Amino acid sequence: MLDPDPDSLEEVVGRFIDGDLDDLIPEENLPFTHLKLVQDEEEEVMSAVRTEQAWVVALPDPKQAADTLKWLKISGLETADMDHLKRIRKQSSQMTLLLTYTRTHPSPPSLPPALALPAPYTLLVPRSAALTQTSLQLKNTLWPTVYAPRRKHEAEPWARARVQWACAAMRRVVQEARAARARGELPIAAYVPVPHDDETRAATQLSKPLIAGDTRVSAAHPLRHAVLNAIRAVAEYRAALPDASPPPASADAVSEDMREACEGGGATRNGTHYLLTSLTLFTTHEPCIMCSMALLHSRVKEVFYLIPMDKTGGCGGAACVPGLKGVNHRYAINRWRAGRDWAVECGLEVGPGTDA
């Protein structure tokens, strides 16, 4: 555990100074820990296979399959959460068509009379794709299922030079939070450093670090969270670049974009409008659910935070926004190992119900 003295972060940085900058640091020696977003439930025994009820219909004549599939595509019954299931099951000479889940269609779906199909009935089907061959065999006994092996969670290797970069960034964000406290603000700060590697620096066009503190007190505005202020700073920086497309230029605009993302609306946007693509954000406190969604919509690459917020956090506390089913982006979450001690010793404590 890190020394909770405010200056001890220098000691932490010092642990990585000596040695080859390209040396890989073992995961257990890193000053932070990686949070796993999705638990891989491999479902390799039948009792572990998660199922739910779905409407299906028998096809008396295999020649009906083509016309029935055409109708199904325009029927509105199919949903994205059925993509792991094949539409037709063949058993000997019998063919059965998957229609929809009973939770989205409690009553039997109406079938086109011209197809002369029998009445639909319910059947248990797997709730997710098969991650292993064993799971695939089990799930296929219920309904033909897609095989989508997911790579085992492996932490990205960290070289000594990159760990130095992360330590320096966390030290900087702590300094800014303490300065915010001295100004009478909540002691919360967020920081977007210049990327560690040359390739990402060139791709992101970020040539200077950007930092922001919480300004809810001085601005008398509930949305002036440090993370939203940092996103706003990136927006203003990008807007000032030559030939830049105009991204959202205020915290209010950022929250408008965030709300649009939450509601699933909006047209497809050019990649230049995603403010944090390939960038890393460091913050003293675990971002609240609102800020976590704003980070998701901004396409941040990874987030590091010092202090967990169990009751309000959106990166593993009250919720894990990038781990939610159906989100269109995921970002890595890293939590500093000694964050709670630093909160006390550095004067960074906030109420447990505070949205950071």
pLDDT value at residue 150: 65
Average predicted confidence (pLDDT) for the chain: 85
pLDDT value at residue 244: 54
Q: Which superfamily is assigned to 8-36+154-345 in CATH?
A: Cytidine Deaminase, domain 2 (3.40.140.10)
pLDDT value at residue 241: 84
Domain residue extents for the chain: 8-36+154-345, 57-140
The backbone torsions φ and ψ at residue 350, rounded to the nearest 5 degrees and listed phi first, read -130, 165
pLDDT value at residue 40: 58
Please name the residue that has the structure tokens 């296979």.
49
pLDDT value at residue 295: 97
CA geometry: angle 220, 221, 223, nearest 5 deg: 150
d(CA 341, CA 347): 10
The backbone torsions φ and ψ at residue 333, rounded to the nearest 5 degrees and listed phi first, read -120, 130
For residues 245 and 128, the model is more confident at: 128
pLDDT value at residue 269: 38
In tens, the pLDDT along 292-345 reads 999 999 999 999 999 999 999 999 999 999 988 888 888 999 999 877 777 777
Percentage above 70 pLDDT, the chain:
84
pLDDT value at residue 273: 59
Which has the closest alpha carbon to 330: 172, 153, 157? 153
Rounded to whole angstroms, what are the CA distances from 340 to 9, 281, 299, 350?
14, 19, 28, 11
CB-side exposure of 46: number of CA atoms within 13 Å?
A: 6
Look up residue 241 and give its two tokens.
Answer: 């670049």
Taking a C-beta distance cutoff of 8 angstroms, is the pair 308, 339 a contact?
Answer: yes
Look up residue 354 and give its two tokens.
Answer: 């505070």
* Three-state secondary structure string covering 273-319: HCCCECCEEEEEECCEHHHHHHHHHCCECEEEEEECCCCCECECCCC
Q: What is the DSSP letter of 334?
A: E
pTM here is: 0.64
Cβ-Cβ contacts under 8 Å for 258 (sequence gap 6 or more): 290, 293, 294, 297
Burial-class residue 247 by CB neighbours within 10 Å (0-12, 13-18, 19+). buried
In tens, the pLDDT along 71-119 reads 998 988 988 888 999 999 999 889 999 999 998 889 999 999 999 999 9
Rounded to whole angstroms, what are the CA distances from 342 to 170, 305, 306?
11, 12, 8
Taking a C-beta distance cutoff of 8 angstroms, is the pair 49, 189 a contact?
Answer: no
> How many Cβ atoms from other residues are within 10 Å of residue 243's Cβ?
4
Q: What is the DSSP letter of 102?
A: T
Q: What does DSSP say about strands 189-192 and 210-213: parallel, antiparallel, or unpaired?
A: antiparallel
